Structures are given as C-alpha cells and as structure tokens.
A and B are shown apart, each in its own frame.
Chain A
Amino acid sequence: MEQIAELVISALLVIGGIFAVIGSFGLLKLRDTMQRLHAPTKATTVGVGTALISSMIYFLVFEGTISWHELLITLFLLLTAPITANFIAKAQMHRFIKPEDLPGTGDTTDWATYDLEMTVANPDLIGPDLRK
C-alpha cells in the first residue's frame, strides 16, 4: 500500500513540475500578451493542483491524518485563477484594443465590456426608460 502511494505521489509530483515549467516557459515564449495569458493561468494551475493533491495523499498515507487545508487551497486557486485572468484580459483590452478592431458578436448588441465607454460617448444608445 505504501509502495503504491509512493509511486502515485512521485508521478503526481513529476507531472506537476513539468506542467509548472511549461506554464512559466510559455510566459516567456508566446508572442503577445493575450497569448501569454493562457500559459500561466492554465498550465501553472494544474501544476500547483497536482502538488497539493500529492501532499494530501502523503499526509493521508504516511502520517495517518486527513488534512483539508490542501483541498481548501486547491479550491481557492481553481476559483481565483479564471477571475484574475479575466481581469488581466479586461485591462489589456481597455488599454490597447479599440472596440472597432474586435470581431463582431453576431448579435444586435456589442461587446458588453465596452458598454460604459460607448454610452458615455453616445448617450442616445441608452433607452429612454433607463436615462435618468
């Protein structure tokens, strides 16, 4: 049992390390900021997740205690990584990308993230019931 657990923990640690290196290398290698956003938010999250799960298995098998902290950290990281990615992408869009350069949404409304700027520039876009 301990042999199998050791094997599983070692495999998880090696896979996690490789994912972490891929994520950090993608941050150096990819071409522009929107592409570079992909590498750390996906690959590095998997890397740290496997490290935390291997720690959980280690304490369960070798120390005989279930520690819930790892699960808490894993959940927290998995919840917050997309939020930070969304915020960084939004900052990049509002700084460097004009709404005219984006592809169309295929709908009657425009990109929602530019709504505030468009309505400030052109107040007639707001319906009469929303205008105060």
Chain B
Amino acid sequence: MLDYALTFAFLCFGLGLAMNLYRVFRAPGVIDRVLALDTMVVNVIALIVLYGIKTKSGINFEAALLFAMTGFVSTVAFCKFMLRGDIIE
C-alpha cells in the first residue's frame, strides 16, 4: 500500500512541477515567473523527500534543506531587484 501511495505522490508532485514549468514559459509578467519558480523549488523539495522514503536513506535531507535556503534567498533577491532595481544598496 505504501508503494502505491508513494507512486501517487510522485505523480502528483511531478504533475505540479510540469504545470509550474508551463507557467514559467507562458506567463503574463515577470512576477508570475518568479512565483512559479518559487513553487517549483517547493515541489522539488517534496520530490527529494519522497525519494528519500523510496530509497530508505536519510542522506537526501541536507540537499533538501540547502535547496530550501537557496530557493528562499533567490526569490527574495528577485523581488528586491524588481522593487528597487538593485539587490544590495
């Protein structure tokens, strides 16, 4: 049963990632692209964690944590650049 649920979750997060990718390419403005990239980061973190359950190893969590941090910092940098035209003033 766990295998089926895991496969379903993989499919769901993969589908979400595909929709975000579509939104990155076809978006009305740059802010939607940044939002889609931020959502992609969250979905990829979930995929890394699910892969950790599938392979029964806890070695992937550092990767997930680093990915969360770099995703947050890059989104904030993007927004700061859109607001002020500069990142570190």
Where the two chains meet, the residues of B that have a C-beta atom closer than 8 Å to any C-beta of A are 1-2, 4-6, 8-9, 11-13, 15-17, 19-20, 22-23, 28-29, 31-32, 34-36, 38-39, 42-43, 45-46, 49-50, 52-53, 56, 58, 61-62, 64-65, 68-69, 72, 75-76, 79-80, 82-83
Contact = CB atoms under 8 A, between A and B. Distances in A.
A25 interface: yes
Given A20-B43, A70-B49, A87-B79, A28 B19 contact: yes
Of the candidates B16, B22, B50, the one having the most CB atoms from chain A within 10 angstroms of its own CB is B16
Q: Is the interface of B mostly helix, strand, loop or mixed?
A: helix
Contacts of B36: 27, 40
Interface residues of A, number: 52
23 contacts: A9-B5, A13-B8, A16-B46, A17-B9, A17-B13, A23-B16, A27-B19, A28-B22, A44-B39, A51-B50, A52-B46, A63-B56, A69-B65, A70-B61, A76-B68, A84-B38, A84-B72, A87-B75, A88-B79, A90-B79, A91-B79, A91-B82, A95-B31
Nearest to A9: B2
